[in-house]
Amino acid sequence: MVKLPTLILGITLSISSHVKAQDNAILSTVTSTAPSTQLLEVAYKTFYSHTRKLSGDDITALRFAFGFTNIHAEGSLCHIDNAYIHTQKVDIPLIVSAEQRFSIPSEKALRLADAKIMLAIREQTNHCDINVQIETLPEYLKEQYTQADMSFILNQYMAFFDEMGGFMSFLMPQVSGLQLRFEDDNLNADLGNQLTIVQGILRLSKAQIGALKDITLPLAPLRITALTESK
């Protein structure tokens, strides 16, 4: 049984895995083309418990990205060679990013159908813990932003953490700004107005976003996440 986390940012949880006999035929292509991989089955509802939190009309620019922390390699995710949603009637392929993360459609029908997330992982599955990340949707990643763009994304994260906290909001971290991460970890650039990309990361405080004018980046960021601090 998988224990779900109570906090969303920067958490991992251990899982146990098994593959049902009836799934062997479906996974035969994976096992024959990638004999070094192990097959991991996780109930769709494990992921749906997160994604359904973004079903409101007021949070439209964010998504959950899932990966598996390699517990024996600090800062690394387990390698996923193949991923898809399996139901009795259809298999839905999932796109795995270069960072070894994937997102899923948030569909109540898949939960009711007892869908499974099937993954072919190179590492031993008992070395991999689920890692959950909240990030902007790909369509919000670009080279040019206005102050309104950045304020919108900031407000999305603030709304998310407010909704997550509810009456216990005092226990949730407070959004203090945005962090833009670029694919090149060695990227350094002076953007003017005291904005600097350092080792592939641009951090913007609330105050900087409020004073921001148009900003042009050397390339589109890999993702945008929230900067948080304890209340």
**Beta-sheet strand order (sheet of 128-136):** 11-13, 128-136, 62-70
Tokens 């939190």 sit at which residue? 53
pLDDT reported for residue 112: 94
pLDDT reported for residue 165: 66
In-domain check, residue 128: yes
Are 217 and 144 found together in one domain? yes
pLDDT reported for residue 75: 86
What does the block give as tokens for 82?
A: 């193949």
In-domain check, residue 221: yes
Determine how many CB atoms are found less than 10 A away from the CB of residue 147: 14
- The whole domain housing 106 covers 11-136
DSSP 3-state percent helix, strand, coil across the chain (nearest 5) = 25, 35, 40
Q: What burial class does residue 199 get, using C-beta atoms within 10 Å of its C-beta: 0-12 exposed, 13-18 middle, 19+ buried?
A: exposed
Are 113 and 195 found together in one domain? no
pLDDT reported for residue 14: 35
Are 125 and 69 found together in one domain? yes
pLDDT reported for residue 167: 54
136: region left, alpha or beta (phi > 0 left; psi from -120 to 50 alpha): beta
For the chain, residues with pLDDT lower than 50 are 1-33
Of the three residues 96, 114, 136, the one that is the final residue of a domain is: 136
| Number of domains observed in the structure of the chain | 2
pLDDT reported for residue 53: 84
In-domain check, residue 224: yes
Are 123 and 179 found together in one domain? no
Which DSSP string do the residues of 96-125 spell out, in sequence order? PPTTS-B-----HHHHHTT-EEEEEESS-G
pLDDT reported for residue 229: 85
pLDDT reported for residue 230: 75
| Residue partners of 167: CB distance under 8 A and separation at least 6 | none
Dist. CA 218–CA 216, nearest whole Å: 7
Dist. CA 38–CA 204, nearest whole Å: 40
Are 75 and 112 found together in one domain? yes
